[in-house]
Amino acid sequence: MAHDALKREVCRVNKEIVKAGLVTLTWGNASGVDRDAGVLAIKPSGVDYDQLAPDDIVVLSLASGEILEGTLKPSSDTPTHLYLAQKFPESNGIVHTHSTCATSFCQAGMKLPCLGTTHADHFFGTVPCVRALTEDEVREAYEHNTGVAIVEAFEELGIDPAQVPAVLQNGHAPFAWGATPAKALENAIVLEECARMALMTWQLNPKAELPRHILDKHFLRKHGPGAYYGQKN
């Protein structure tokens, strides 16, 4: 069975992460999930974004990772996407980049605290930085264990992945997710901008912080049952 609409959307979002300035060369990928069909569609490995077409997108079983459609090899990060999609049911789109500022936090092994309302509008608190993988984890199943470490961190910290739809992987790079591939892209863009603003903010005031009641107000006015921001459908 063809999944043409999903492949078109995943192809479009992969191209958009380049237009958004989040990707250099082929350092990134986007995936999308159709939960009713039980599939995940993802960019093929190493294919230039300018040449990427919907028919190049690889479709896999969400449960097993078996390739169902496509003649190209899927992204090397596919096991991470699969694990996150399996464990975070709200993540119907996942975007992985090596965007400069967010990746700088990853390389420094630093979490991204909420310093202002731009961050609070999208992330309900600190974006965590996940521990580095062990030698055994890297050797045995590096990409799969990247996903395991991310899920482990959210469980241990008690973070709802729907409220903080992004993560910083220690020594690696960021991942973001959302209800759709387009929403995952938006969250990846916001993550990079918040990381950039944090770096600039700390240059001006290393002790900057946002009071919790303002964080709560800004997030909850846009998310949850009491949200009132924007127009109602």
User: CA 184 to CA 31: how far, in whole Å?
Assistant: 9
Instruction: Name every residue whose Cβ is closer than 8 Å to that of residue 116 and which is 6 or more positions away in sequence.
Output: 197, 201, 210
User: CA 155 to CA 169: how far, in whole Å?
Assistant: 15
Measured torsion, CA atoms of residues 75, 79, 81, 85, in degrees rounded to the nearest 10: 150
The sign of the torsion formed by the CA atoms of 135, 111, 29, 98 equals: negative
Residues noted as catalytic: 121, 229
User: CA 3 to CA 110: how far, in whole Å?
Assistant: 39
User: CA 119 to CA 81: how far, in whole Å?
Assistant: 24
User: CA 63 to CA 71: how far, in whole Å?
Assistant: 20
